[in-house]
Amino acid sequence: MALISIDRERGLLTAEFQGLDKLWTFSSRLEIPLAHVRGATHDPGIAREPKGVKVGGTHFPGLITAGRFRRDGERLFWDVKNPDKAIVIQLADAEHYDRLILEVDDPRATVRLIEQSITRG
């Protein structure tokens, strides 16, 4: 699971990975400039979509999808075990990823936090 935080002063969205998710994703955190965040949605159905080619991480169908994937030229970062808690963060001008698909504790509140942070400019 990822903990999402917004640092308005530094202009960053941070996703920190908890527990074994650090191992599954090969990452402890991602920092994304808020200027690169286009939006976020709660999307439990995303887990049924094809994942693409695993570049680095873990994929056990139906159990966990974590790490870096490429699909149709798109660069994706996954950290999802429970699809009901999955959010999708769309990125623009991103250096590393086009979308982040992350499991969070409260999807609706997290999407609201992200959306409010990017609309305030």
Domain boundaries, the chain: 2-119
Encoded amino acid at 1, one letter: M
Structural class in CATH, domain 2-119? mainly beta
Q: What is the pLDDT of residues 69-118, one digit of tens each?
A: 999 999 999 999 999 999 999 999 767 899 999 999 999 999 999 999 99
Per-residue pLDDT at 120 = 66
Encoded amino acid at 36, one letter: H
Identify whether the C-beta of residue 115 lies closer than 8 Å to the C-beta of residue 40.
yes
Per-residue pLDDT at 121 = 54
Percentages helix, strand, coil for the chain (3-state, rounded to 5) are 25, 45, 30
Residues forming beta bridges with residue 53, ordered by sequence position: 70
